[in-house]
Amino acid sequence: MTHLANLYETDYAQWAQRNAELLRARRFEEFDIEHLLEELSDLSKSDRRELHSRLLALIAHLLKWQYQLPTLAERWREFDGSSWRATIVEQHEQLADLLRESPGLKTTLRAAIAAAHPGAVRLAHKETRLPVDRFPAACPYSSAQIFDDDFYPGEAPSGGQHSR
């Protein structure tokens, strides 16, 4: 095992720093290529996992907003969905940041939304206790709607408590 490969196993920060120094000095033959390739591949995987996780949370909250909020707001006048709105706003912000930092993810949005939807349905089902078949089998929201800061699906409950 080379010194750099050993360093990868024992001190990741120092390993990364040393590879950066080698890159700046254009000493390519000394790189720990195997681990560099692994790390570059994992960076992409990490971004895709974050995209999936954030879409899952956002779609679940949009589903809860559409399918449960009207019922809850009718039962309890004080329930206005503000915690759900906070989660929706937070996920929009985090997704915007992620796509700004990794614009290549934009090409995967349609597939990422389709992949996140079943998990979002399961999450919405577990949190609302509504029957799972109450939710659509395919995501009912377009990419444009999902990323629209002003999109809240369905009719706002009567009483006008849901300002956007």
Q: Which of 25-34, 41-50, 108-117 has the highest mean pLDDT?
A: 108-117
Instruction: Give the pLDDT of residue 162.
Output: 39
DSSP string covering the chain, please?
A: --HHHHHHHH-HHHHHHHHHHHHHTT-GGGS-HHHHHHHHHHHHHHHHHHHHHHHHHHHHHHHHHHHTHHHHHHH-TT---HHHHHHHHHHHHHHHHHHHH-GGGGGGHHHHHHHHHHHHHHHHHHHH---GGGS-SS--S-HHHHT-TT---SPPPTT-----
Q: Could you tell me which residue, 97 or 73, shows the higher pLDDT?
A: 97
Dihedral sign (CA 47, 49, 50, 52)? positive
Rounded CA-CA distance 146/156 in Å is: 17
Burial of 95 (0-12, 13-18, 19+ CB in 10 A): buried
Model confidence pLDDT, tens digit, residues 135-160: 999 999 999 999 999 999 974 433 33
Instruction: Give the pLDDT of residue 92.
Output: 96
Instruction: Give the pLDDT of residue 74.
Output: 59
- Asked whether residue 104 carries a pLDDT value surpassing 70, the answer given is yes
Instruction: Give the pLDDT of residue 72.
Output: 65
Q: Could you tell me which residue, 128 or 41, shows the higher pLDDT?
A: 128
Whether residue 56 contacts residue 103, with contact meaning beta carbons closer than 8 Å, is answered with no
Rounded CA-CA distance 99/21 in Å is: 29
Q: Could you tell me which residue, 96 or 73, shows the higher pLDDT?
A: 96
Instruction: Give the pLDDT of residue 71.
Output: 72
- Asked whether residue 105 carries a pLDDT value surpassing 60, the answer given is yes
Instruction: Give the pLDDT of residue 78.
Output: 62
Alpha-carbon 67 to chain mean position? 21
The mean-pLDDT minimum among 6-20, 38-52, 74-88, 103-117 falls in: 74-88
Model confidence pLDDT, tens digit, residues 38-95: 888 777 788 999 999 999 999 999 999 998 876 765 555 566 677 888 999 999 999 9
Spatial neighbors of 85 by CB under 8 A, at least 6 apart, are 152, 162
